[in-house]
Amino acid sequence: MIIVLKPNLDQKQYENLTMWLRNMNLELHESDGLYSKIIGLVGDTSAVDTDLIGAMEIVESVKRIHEPYKAANRKYHPLDTVIEVGAAKIGGGNFCAIAGPCSVETEEQICGIARDLKSIGAQMLRGGAFKPRTSPYSFQGLGVDGLGLLLKARAETGLPIVTEIMDLSQLPAFEDIDVIQVGARNMQNFQMLKELGKVRKPILLKRGLSNTIEEWLMSAEYVMAGGNGNVILCERGIRTFETATRNTLDLSAIPVVKELSHLPIIVDPSHATGHAKYVEAMSLAAVAAGADGLIIEVHNNPTAALCDGQQSLTPEAFRKLSGKIDVLRKSMA
Ligand code: PEP
Ligand code: MN
């Protein structure tokens, strides 16, 4: 971190600042320019508040040289993280297709779609038991019973389960779940992220509706700082002025995240676009951009779905898309 001080600075304030920085176990490299003094800070600056320093009377400007996240940073962990869930692998060149309905509705529905998806080649099953709905009058999910149905679908097909936790009080019920999803609305639920850091299961961390890539990586850092390095990032579209799609899929997040972090990144084209008809194009674009996987909503009968039917593919459409993904991936190898 570099701090540029104002010319003609107050000596007392300068001494207070340098003492404060040294007390944080930082080494100070000071150099005098023609007009101003510059302090280079060496050491772990992750806990240093740049806004606070920038607001000091004697400070002209302050700049971080390194990103504020460490565990998630590719600089310190150059190799791709590969996350294994049963037979599935994500990251480091391993591609993972996760598919399933927005929400678990009945045993027939979830077990039926799980069988179809398994036969098509999906590697994991998604399905919400606890649903974050905008309206309190919409279907809220089957809760713990829904988790039980997901486990039945896993017992039948062997597909690992990905499902969303909405509140920490639900954590004990996730004991047998393979991958815990943190939804977009909870990306900055720091208390939840801290607790998930103590869990030894992969965490699928969706990007918040209005969050920057750095904020997203800082949320991953919360989980990792707690000791759980198994974080899968999921780009699911961000809020923009555009209304033609539900969100705007930020495909450029894929190469950016890959440069900044070693964590795998997958894409959710269903919540990103909000329309089944756009899911294929965005899935292929995500694969072309280097995504490590996709999480796609697929429903046995989208028109009768209790949640997000408009953006759900039929099993047939998913089969067709999976064939195109295979061809695309082979052409990129
Ligand atoms: C979901 O995947 O079911 C979901 C609610 O997604 P998001 O948190 O991205 O809106
Ligand atoms: Mn959904």
pLDDT digits (tens, 9 = 90+) for 248-265: 999 999 999 999 999 999
Place of tokens 């389960």: 161
Contact 98, 125 (CB under 8 A): yes
pLDDT mean across residues, the chain: 97
Could you report the per-residue pLDDT of 230-247, keeping only the tens digit for each?
Answer: 999 999 999 999 999 999
Distance CA 38, CA 5 (A): 6
What residue's CA is closest to ligand 1, atom 8? 183
Average pLDDT estimate for 197-222: 98
Report residue 322's pLDDT band, with 50, 70 and 90 as the boundaries: very high
At 33 the pLDDT is: 86
At 312 the pLDDT is: 98
Atom of ligand 1 nearest to the CA of 308: 3
Atom of ligand 1 nearest to the CA of 181: 2
Distance CA 279, CA 286 (A): 10
What residue's CA is closest to ligand 1, atom 10? 184
> How many other CB atoms are found less than 10 A from the CB of residue 123?
21
Query: What domains sit in the chain, N to C, each tagged with a CATH number?
Result: 2-63 (3.30.70.1140), 83-332 (3.20.20.70)
Ligand 1, pocket-test mutation among 103, 162, 236, 312, most atoms within 8 A of CB: 236
At 47 the pLDDT is: 87
Contact 203, 231 (CB under 8 A): yes
236 close to ligand 1 (CB < 6 Angstrom): yes
Report residue 46's pLDDT band, with 50, 70 and 90 as the boundaries: confident
Strand spans (E) along the chain: 2-5, 27-32, 37-42, 59-63, 83-85, 88-90, 96-100, 124-126, 161-165, 179-182, 203-206, 231-235, 265-267, 293-297
CA-CA-CA-CA torsion sign (191, 193, 194, 200): positive
What residue's CA is closest to ligand 1, atom 3? 102
271 close to ligand 1 (CB < 6 Angstrom): yes
Contact 257, 289 (CB under 8 A): no
**pLDDT at 34 > cutoff 90:** no
At 101 the pLDDT is: 98
162 close to ligand 1 (CB < 6 Angstrom): no
Q: Estimate to the nearest angstrom the gap between the alpha carbon of 328 and the chain centroid.
A: 24
Tokens of 191: 């208390």
How far is ligand 1, taken at its centre, from the CA of residue 119, in Å? 25
183 close to ligand 1 (CB < 6 Angstrom): yes
**DSSP 8-state symbol, 167:** S
The CA-atom distances, in angstroms, between 306 and each of 33, 133, 153, 300 are 66, 11, 19, 12
How far is ligand 2, taken at its centre, from the CA of residue 103, in Å? 7
Atom of ligand 1 nearest to the CA of 207: 9
**pLDDT at 219 > cutoff 90:** yes
Average pLDDT estimate for 56-63: 96
Average pLDDT estimate for 166-192: 98
At 207 the pLDDT is: 98
Three-state secondary structure string covering 187-230: CCCHHHHHHHCCCCCCEEEECCCCCCHHHHHHHHHHHHHCCCCC
How far is ligand 2, taken at its centre, from the CA of residue 207, in Å? 14
Cβ-in-10-Å burial (0-12, 13-18, 19+) of 265 comes to buried
Atom of ligand 1 nearest to the CA of 307: 3
132 close to ligand 1 (CB < 6 Angstrom): yes
What residue's CA is closest to ligand 1, atom 9? 184
Q: How many residues does the chain have?
A: 333
**pLDDT at 119 > cutoff 90:** yes
Average pLDDT estimate for 3-21: 95
3-state secondary structure of 44: coil
**pLDDT at 35 > cutoff 90:** no
How far is ligand 2, taken at its centre, from the CA of residue 187, in Å? 16
At 310 the pLDDT is: 98
